[in-house]
Structure 1
Amino acid sequence: MGLNESTEPADVVRRQYLASAAGDLAALRATLAPDVEWTEMAGFPLAGTYRTPQGVTANVMEVLGRDWTGWTAHDDTYVVDGENVVVLARYTARNDATGKDLNVRVAHHFVVRGGLIVRFEQFVDTALVRDAMG
């Protein structure tokens, strides 16, 4: 079974990152449960919890794509414990309003059930993100 068919939690999460990096929002939505809860950290420009696959891509990925050039989450380390997947990653982008580059470490916590992401929580140094915007 290849990465695209696997329901293993780490493979589902990896598909989400690949879809995001490719700008394939339909493929990204396909990794999300209908009742997904996606939380962007307090202090982050998009802070809040978003629900439904369409709600997540409309309120997070599409906004990041509008306000930043080349927004990418580079996933590098996976820690898997059952349905929990923690990914250490790095965001890189350029803010369109300021022209400033962003390069910041992040941690993401996913919960995967039945081959779909049911919960996501972001941890990031929000001050570095705001600095790139100001």
Structure 2
Amino acid sequence: MTTASSSTALAASTAPADVVRRQYLASAAGDLEALRATLAPDVEWTEMAGFPLAGTYRTPEGVTANVMEKLGQDWDGWTAHDDTYVVDGENVVVLARYTATNKATGKDIAVRVAHHFVVRGGRIVRFEQFVDTALVRDAMTPDV
């Protein structure tokens, strides 16, 4: 249970895991402004090769426009559920899962992922995604 004081502490914290957690909460809420606030101006955000949005995006606006907004266009209820955090200094690895329904096919996904974040000065400076891209693409492929 989150209390007002614990959520206030999370919002004020620059600890790497807290910054990453704020990013997940903002994403789940669809709050792109709050999500951009967790990203460094020179962020490098890499979506895995084979993923529909594969590539490296820079700037907070570039990340939200090319990743989060596009996911919202193609998927209903796209959510990254952050399950387990492994923290080593500025490195935060999150074991998570994506859930969503593809708008074009009506197919659901529930796929495990790993995210590697690097956090410096209270902002995410680097992100790399690891995901079973075949499961995502299968959900995007109409049945024949």
Instruction: Give the TM-score range, shorter chain.
Output: over 0.9
- Tell me, which stretches of 5 or more residues in structure 2 are unaligned? 1-7
Identity, in percent, stands at 88
Q: Secondary structure at the match of 2:11?
A: coil
TM-score between both structures, scaled by the size of structure 2: 0.92
Larger Rg: 2
- Distance, in Å, in 1 between the alignment partners of 2:110 and 2:103 is 15
The 4+ residue runs of structure 1 with deviation greater than 2 A are none
Determine the structure 1 residue equivalent to 2:127.
120
Residues 1:71 and 2:78 are matched in the alignment = yes
Q: Deviations over 1:62-117 (max 9, x none)?
A: 00001000000000100000000000000000000000001000000000000000
Q: CA RMSD in A?
A: 0.6
TM-score between both structures, scaled by the size of structure 1: 0.99
**Alignment of structure 1 residues 24-103 onto 2, 5 Å:** 24-103=31-110
- Distance, in Å, in 1 between the alignment partners of 2:137 and 2:14 is 36
Amino acid at match of 2:21: R
Higher fraction of helix: 2
- Distance, in Å, in 2 between the alignment partners of 1:2 and 1:66 is 33
- Distance, in Å, in 1 between the alignment partners of 2:19 and 2:107 is 32
- Aligned with 2:25 (options 6, 14, 18): 18
- Distance, in Å, in 2 between the alignment partners of 1:115 and 1:101 is 35
Determine the structure 2 residue equivalent to 1:130.
137
Q: Secondary structure at the match of 1:13?
A: helix
- Tell me, which stretches of 5 or more residues in structure 1 are unaligned? none
